Structure 1
Amino acid sequence: MKRVALSLLASAIALSLSGCNGDDGAQGLQGPQGEQGVAGQNGVDGTNGSNGTNGSNGTNGSDGTDGKDGANGAGLVRIATVPAGAEVTGLFLTEGGDLFFNVQHPSDTNAATENYNNRTYNTGTVGVLTGVNFNELPRNIINSPVPSSDTEKQIVMSAVGQYQILGQTGDTFASLGAKGLAGGLGVHYGINTKTEIIKNDNPDFNGFISTGANSGFLYTNWESYPGGMSRLKMSKNEFGKWSIEEAMMVNFDLVHGTAANCFGSVSPWGTPLTSEEWIVDSAVDTTTNPNWNNPDDHATDTIEALTAPAFPNPYRYGYIAEVQNPTTDTPDVVKHFTIGRYEHENSIVMPDRRTVYSSQDDTGGVLFKFIADQPEDLSSGTLYAAKLTQDAGLTDPAVTGFDIQWVELASGANATIESWIAQYDDINTSDYVDGKTSYISMADVQAWVDGKATYPTEAEGGSPITAGKPMDNRVAFLESRQAARLKGATAEWRKLEGLSINQDRVIEAVTGQDRVPGEIVEKAYMYIGISDIDNTMIDGQGDMQLSARVKDCGGVYRAHIDNNYNLTRIEPVVMGGTYRSSLSGAERCDVNQLSQPDNVIVMKDGRIIIGEDGFQGNNTLWLYDPKAK
């Protein structure tokens, strides 16, 4: 910058005439003004300062799309990968910040071990991430790498924490003596024969029931036909590592056993809710269960072995079962027929302790709602089904939402519904007639929907048990999807998977209570995992007419919860990448995006943990931040 020196000439004259004790004289004339002085010369410009030295080059930002350095642009962070052949199941986050998840059906050829557990992942595995509090997880977590070496592909890799194996299929916990499990973890027996039917490789839902700051019971579903549930009594040391103190398999004999215990939840009053994903009937427009008692149909042999020598009643399976008194020596189990019979993935109870939402994991599935008559008592209430209206002019799954109306099906109580179920207990293979059904028929369902006073006769297509008898509401609870579909609900979901809420976030949004420190939660959502957005969701018919762009890559939706704990709208949150049908294997869905999300859980800070059940070489446990959308 130039500096200018300016010289300024100034003069001042003061004239004072003053008489001493005399009058002042008259003022004289003012003299002429003097000439202005000459301006001074400008100063010489100063020399320019020397240039500063250049700063060092900044480091390049991480790409964030290769799954190694930074978070993906879509807000996804790869928290962990599971071994080859496995899917991620059993997501459960405790109040203490412990994240449980399972390795379901890994490849039996996996042979690698890692130092922490010194075990191979070639069978069903129940575990937890230790050394990290997920309730205080920072937002700058970087991705765990995509496994590349043979060893990495055969173990659990994680971005944070260390995966601790708690138990694997067949473990007897022999060191615990009488408190061990002689038959082995995940082993199921016949009710009457007490002989082994299956050694289950499919651990699914986890639910932790706390008994103290660092102790509790871990309940785990084992998904098979027949199904089962284990319970591990556990405690954690000061370094975050867990020890097993007692192991057992829950006794379901008094409820005629279970079928395909899939995902689940823990109720607000602290009881595990286990879901039977028994395949009720995958076709939505034909007579239901026509071949159940067909002696030539061997698809149900394992469930028949459960009750042998008696023949199983299909209406005993396909429900939500509540494990009551879960911390006692002998927990009680109650099947809630009131929530309906279908392929349950899981149920979520709202903070009002009455409203329950349930997902149906099948082709042509329905989203159901149940409202109990009394809080914390699911034994009686009213069942509803969702009717969807797709956003006009939109079909792409990434932007298309649905408004929800609720269709009332019926009210009922466990005791009444069980009395209807018992009427089918004595049916067996000798009652089978080719081309007919021994169970509820579609003619029966239609008569109920039409408000008929009596069931149709056998000549009119009715079934033998109810033919010509006065109408009741058994159809709504025993053939729930058929009843919902014919009542006008949307029966078009494909692989409607896990449902999840964060109780604290919902309570704050609905009641205004400060339940989430540092954040004002004004809207609350239930999150929904959808493994496949195909088939009945993209067939161009009915209420759901989405494009096939995402297809088998799937996605996650959210449903808005109003002040009455009612779901009013469903909208997409994050979708898998474009499905590339021209490619095979894992390449069909981008390894850095979702591939068939299965179960989801919502953290207190609003982030979502998502487990994959896809065809990637190594399925991923993702962390997604909705604020990135």
Structure 2
Amino acid sequence: MHNSPTPSRRRMLQLLGGVPLLPLAAAGCASGRPGPDAAPAAPQGRGPVRSVRFEGMAAPTLADPAAMATTRVASALVATLADGSQHRHALQYDTFFITGALVPDGAGGQVVAGGCFDIHNRPIVDASDPGRRQFFSDAPDGMSLLQLPRANVPGVRGHTLFAVVQFEYTTRDAAGASMYGQLPSPIAVLTLDQDPATGRLRLVKYANVDTSAVHGLWTTCGASLSPWNTHLASEEYEPDAAFGDESLAAFSRHLYGDPARANPYHYGHLPEVTVLPDGTGRIAKHYCLGRISHELVQVMPDERTVLMGDDATNAGAFMFIADRPRDLCAGTLYVGRWHQTSASGPGAATLSWIRLGHASSAEIRALVDGGIRAADIMDVSKADPGDASFTKIPFAGGFHWVRVKPGMEKAAAFLETHRFAALAGGSLGFTKWEGTTVNARDKVAYVAMSRIEASMLDGSGGVKVEGPYSGAVYAQNLRGGQRDHRGAPIASDWVPVDMAAVPALVAEDFGGGKLRRQDALGNFAHPDKLSMPDNLKFNEALRTLFIGEDSSTHVNSFLWAYEVDTGRLSRLLSCPAGAESTGLHAVDAVNGFTYVMSNFQHPGDWESPLHDKVRPVLDPLIRARYRDRNGAAVGYLTAVPAAHAPG
């Protein structure tokens, strides 16, 4: 049923109907073509906007190879006014840059977009490149758009906006060798000039954020904008401190010039970036939200409760409740228990919560800086030691046997969170738990399970469902009055109490399982349904959930809009083949314009047999457009002139 607009939604709909340009801005998945210079005329109907809906587009095919090799945008937003007239805003892209481009540094010079820097903020050079170029990322990910009241950046003629963009990794060096996980993740503040009349955005300044005080960044993935206007980043795939991580030595060599210097316990945390009025940024890491495979956290409207993605095999449902609003420096960490009520398809369950402990970021970081090691915290074995004092737990697709050292429970909870949460009885059975977002009006959280496989099928972590392999988006109802496993009250009105997939947001694998059947193009999952959902963002004013794919069962990954009141699912864009849709951020209104931001990563990252049918045709096109497959776009989605149609 379509609900009547709330007052806040009516205000947004009036803005959408009254402005000359509707910039649903998306950073990335861009063709590189500039948009029109002229602003379209405002709709000529009567009265305020009554409703809005998205018009989807068909998936591209080899009938138009160029459309598969870049971002295809053939979607629209349709506004219905009070007099019944409808106004269609077709969508298209402008871009800020392709990574690797030289962009303005705000001081008359230029800097490499997505460029990587060492602990001394010196460019990291690709030794395999004859020209000794600076390494730059082809994987822009989490992005936030924000405004500051006293911004002061030279060169801005209209309104000053800022975007924080993080770059997850660099896929390969100039010689084609894998560089995944071997370079520190860059993060930058973009100063943007917003045209007051059209809403169009122009890049004025690119400022790399100095991360030396937090020991650099490790694999920054999804991100969100906090209610207090800061950028909440992530560090996923935390390095294993007990048995080592093969990427950590290479990471340390590039960051410090010393393969042995990086401490694994400095990574796997939640970084927070505060943008300053001059277009630079200050960063801190919070060590008290658990050391997990952080992916796109979401702070609830109480400004204390944080729900977190955990992009791992044998992942968990984690929740953090801060001691004080707008301050993530101290609080209580919880892990969920999945009480399964259905095993059919993606499954369903009620949820309860186990308190893992309370800590401040300062006290956990002090342990790390003091030299604590995994052996100081717990004994861990990959084989059964035949000792009853050890407990068998699921871990990373297998099993470990663990025993916490006396008095080390707090260190275990916040530095060995996956192992300790499993030991405490949490349901560590999820796979690829990615984006998390909130529909505040309905008190519903949405979470993306990108793949349903491995530990979600075998019951190793207390979850045993059927699939589909290509994933689903789940909804969680949020309630107050909850108690933890010991009966103590949980100080939040935003606690997830159940979890079930949204029927319209469940993938459909051909043949019913992983890699069983392909269509004529190569897709393993139905192209008109989502596949491997990753980034999620809910827009309160539009009542729309935006979903970006990281698909290895769709030939092209897509960005979708799901209108929660009507159940309508619309494809908004298609990324270049082999790319992942990332960096999603939906903003209600900035100076009367609304923006939906979404990057893409690694175009032409071919997988066999998924891309076997299209690769010979598309590879040269993608190489020509995206720096020989080494670049990815950051930009925004805008609108072309509105067409009037009678209601």
Structure 1 residues 387-442: Cα deviation after superposition (integer angstroms, max 9, x where no partner): 111115x4222xx32111010001001111011111338x8xxxxxxxxx767444
What RMSD, in angstroms, separates the aligned Cα atoms of the two structures?
3.5
Instruction: Name the counterpart of 1:415.
Output: 362
Contact 2:435 2:447 in 1 (8 A): yes
Q: Are the equivalent residues in 2 in contact too, given 1:100–1:206 (CA < 8 A)?
A: no
Matches within 5 A, 1:262-301: 262-281=221-240, 289-292=242-245, 297=246, 300-301=249-250
Aligned to 1:513: none
Between structures 1 and 2, the one with greater strand share: 2
What secondary structure does 2:234 align onto?
strand
Q: Given the superposition, is the C-alpha separation of residues 377 and 241 from structure 1 closer, same or farther in structure 2, using an over 3 Å criterion?
A: same
Alpha-carbon shift at residue 166 of structure 1 (Å): 1.1
Seen in structure 2, the aligned counterparts of structure 1 residues 131 and 588 have a Cα distance that, compared at 3 Å, is farther
Residue in 1 that maps onto 2:525: 589
Corresponding position of 1:146: 59
Amino acid paired to 2:420: A
Please point out which of 578, 589, 600 is paired with 2:509: 578
What stretches of structure 1 of length at least 5 have no aligned partner? 1-95, 107-111, 119-128, 282-287, 428-436, 453-460, 510-522
Structure with the greater alpha carbon radius of gyration: 1
1:156 to partner: Cα distance: 1.7
Aligned to 2:464: 545
Q: Deviations over 1:350-370 (max 9, x none)?
A: 111111111110111111111
Given that 2:377 and 2:411 are in contact with CA atoms closer than 8 Å, whether structure 1 keeps it comes out as: no
Give the residue type in structure 2 aligned to 1:578: D
- 2:188 corresponds, among 216, 230, 233, to 230
Matches of 1:364 and 1:395, distance apart in 2: 20
1:575 aligned partner, one-letter code: V
Q: Is the 8 A contact 2:548 2:559 kept in 1?
A: yes
Which amino acid is 1:557 matched to? Y
Q: Secondary structure at the match of 1:403?
A: strand
Preserved CA contact (<8 Å) 1:404 1:570? yes
CA contact (8 A) 1:363 1:493 kept: yes
Q: Deviations over 1:447-503 (max 9, x none)?
A: xx9999xxxxxxxx999xx97x7435111100111111110111111110001124x
1:554 pairs with 2:471: yes
Distance 1:390 1:547 in 2: 13
Equivalent residue, structure 2, for 1:610: 547
1:332 matched residue in structure 2: 282
| Residue pairs, 1:49-68, within 5 angstroms | none
CA distance in 2, matches of 1:227, 1:381: 27
- Does the 8 A contact of 2:314 with 2:455 survive in 1? yes
Please state whether the residue corresponding to 2:107 is helix, strand or coil.
helix
Match of 2:431 among 494, 510, 527: 494
| Partners of 2:167 and 2:186 within 8 A in 1 | yes
Q: How far apart are 1:554 and its partner, in Å?
A: 1.0
- Greater displacement, 371-380 / 574-583: 574-583
How far the C-alpha of 1:331 sits from its partner, in A, is 2.6
Q: Deviations over 1:95-125 (max 9, x none)?
A: x975443447x9xxxxx8646499xxxxxxx
Given the superposition, is the C-alpha separation of residues 627 and 494 from structure 1 closer, same or farther in structure 2, using an over 3 Å criterion? same
For the pair 1:220 / 2:165, whether they are aligned, the reply is yes
1:567 is aligned to 2:496? yes
**Which residue is 2:122 aligned to?**
194
Question: Given the superposition, is the C-alpha separation of residues 220 and 328 from structure 1 closer, same or farther in structure 2, using an over 3 Å criterion?
Answer: same
1:171 to partner: Cα distance: 2.2
The residue type paired with residue 500 of structure 1 is: T
In structure 1, how many angstroms separate the alpha carbons of the residues matched to 2:41 and 2:108? 27
Distance 1:587 1:601, change over 3 A: same
Change (3 A) 1:474 1:240: same
CA distance in 2, matches of 1:541, 1:451: 17
Does the 8 A contact of 2:252 with 2:261 survive in 1? no
1:3: which partner in 2? none
Normalising by structure 2, what TM-score?
Answer: 0.65
User: CA offset at residue 131 of structure 1?
Assistant: 10
Q: 1:299 to 1:330 in 2, by over 3 A?
A: closer
Contact kept? 1:234, 1:243, Cα under 8 Å: yes
Contact 1:131/1:162 (8 A) holds in 2: no
Q: Residue 245 in 1 paired to residue 190 in 2?
A: no
1:152 and 1:614 map into 2 onto residues whose CA distance is: 18
Distance of aligned partners of 1:491 and 1:327 in 2 relative to their CA distance in 1, 3 Å threshold: farther
Q: Deviations over 1:222-271 (max 9, x none)?
A: 00241121111002222332111111111111111111111111110111
Secondary structure in 1 matching 2:362: helix
The match for 1:88 is none
Q: Per the alignment, do residues 137 and 414 of structure 1 end up closer, same or farther by CA in structure 2, a change over 3 Å counting?
A: farther
AA matched with 2:99: T
Distance 1:362 1:203, change over 3 A: same
Question: Which structure has the higher relative contact order (CA within 8 Å, separation 6+)?
Answer: 2
Give the alignment partner of residue 416 of structure 2, picking from 479, 483, 486: 479
Aligned residue runs from structure 1 range 76-155, under 5 A: 98-103=23-28, 114=33, 116=35, 139-148=52-61, 149-155=64-70
Shift of 1:136: 7.5
Q: Does 1:168 align with 2:98?
A: yes
Q: Contact 2:248–2:264 (CA<8 Å) still a contact in 1?
A: no
Contact 1:495 1:530 in 2 (8 A): yes
Paired residues of 1:97 and 1:136 also in contact (CA < 8 A)? no
Q: Give, in whole Å, the separation in 2 of the partners of 1:439 and 1:163.
A: 53
Contact 1:179 1:247 in 2 (8 A): no
SS in 1 for 2:477: strand
State the distance in 1 between where 2:418 and 2:303 align: 24
- 1:204: how far off? 0.5
1:312 paired residue number: 262
Q: Secondary structure at the match of 1:301?
A: helix
SS for the counterpart of 2:452 is: coil
Residue 346 and residue 115 in structure 1: after superposition, are their counterparts in 2 closer, same or farther (change >3 A)?
Answer: closer
